[in-house]
Amino acid sequence: EYRQLIGSVNELVGRINGRFGTIEYTPIHFLHRSVGFAELVALYAVADVCLITSTRDGMNLVSYEYVASQAQRHGVLVLSEFAGAAQSLDGAVIVNAWNIEEVAAALALALAMPAAQREASFRTLHKYVAKHTAAYWGTSFIAELTRVRHAADAAALLPPLPAADAAAAFRRATKRLVVLDYDGTLSATRTIPEFARPSPLALRTLQRLAGAALVYVVSGRTRADMDRWFRGVDVGLAAEHGLFYRHPPSAALGAEWRSLPAPADPLWRDAVLPLLQHYAERTPGSFVEMKEAGVTWHFRNADPEFGEWQANELRANLERVLAHRPLNIVNANKAVEVRPARVDKPAAVRAIVAELAGTTTPVDFCLAAGDGRADEPVFAYLAQEFAHVPLFTATVGRKPTAARYYVQDVDAVLSVLGKLTEPAN
């Protein structure tokens, strides 16, 4: 394959030089040999444009070397989107290397780029390259290894949730609050909503628990899904990561849906949706889910490695598109979600607790469980809010967490919740 490629390139070079070359001028110099360091740096330094058209590349150091050699000329870097460096070199002109017309247009753009724009793009590139050196990479890599080691040590010391102690404190209390994540906590995580409904066991457990406590289920699912799944169960609900929430009937605070503040401009979807749909088309197994206030790109059913690669690229592109809008780009579990700023689970839980505080009896028991990163700020908030009452916070699976305990899996969560309402021996 490589020999065939070299033959094709040689043929193309000969054809182009034969058509456009003269005795004094050769358009293309094809150097199919090793080049010494001094000569290579000299070529980098005098080049107006560096064109890199990799179709499969891990990192591509050529792009970094070119930028490092261009302090005087401020050359333009045209870089394939399939090179790993495309994720970090923000000032480059990014192209699809398979699209010949796009590459040609990018090359023409680079050659005709005004000096001021060339300099601005180069400054962005050089700032990144000058900072992220081999020494910086080595130092940050060692620091990350140390952090992971300490986090693993802390996770290994995390105790399991003491169900007997929680049940005893639950029975002694008079006003009990239970806050539960949904996906991965009450139900195994499913991408397709139709398959994510709670099991009969989960519904029976929640109904029994709701007879003795104020129970809230917090989810990233839509209001319609939550309404349908928990119809007839006396629990409070928070949908779309807390943007919408409502109290259980037993709280006597009204059963209507309430909402956290959202941006007034709905046109942000017009900027986001084409980008998400583009990644859905080019990532087999992924799809876009429209919600009332947010949009989510799911890649749970895509190839894991390729899905993560595409997700990282999508996040970088979304950050550029949404830089000045009041929106958050959230790394969900096998998903990338765009939703209004200041809307998250902690904000919803704070609003719920504040409204419960206006009732006559204070909360004197709290239990919270969740499995994701979005639940960690909830655990931290509850630790402050209920520092002087029995508090049991648990993450699903043993891992670094702000929770005080862990439970093994969804079955273990339902088992603990069931024991809360069992009569004392």
Positions marked catalytic? 181
DSSP letter string over 187-227?
Answer: B---SSGGG-PPPHHHHHHHHHHHTTSEEEEE-SS-HHHHH
Neighbouring C-beta atoms of residue 114, cutoff 10 Å? 8
CB 293 within 8 A of CB 262: yes
Type of residue numbered 337: E
Alpha-carbon span 406 to 408, nearest angstrom: 7
Q: Which DSSP letter does residue 279 get? A: H
Interatomic CA distance for residues 48 and 26, integer angstroms? 17
C-beta of residue 118 within 8 angstroms of C-beta of residue 76? yes
Indicate the residue type of 90: D
Answer left, alpha or beta for residue 252, where phi above 0 means left and psi between -120 and 50 means alpha. left
The tokens of 312 are what?
């990282």
One-letter amino acid identity for 187? Answer: S
Q: Which backbone phi and psi does 157 adopt, to 5 degrees?
A: -90, -5
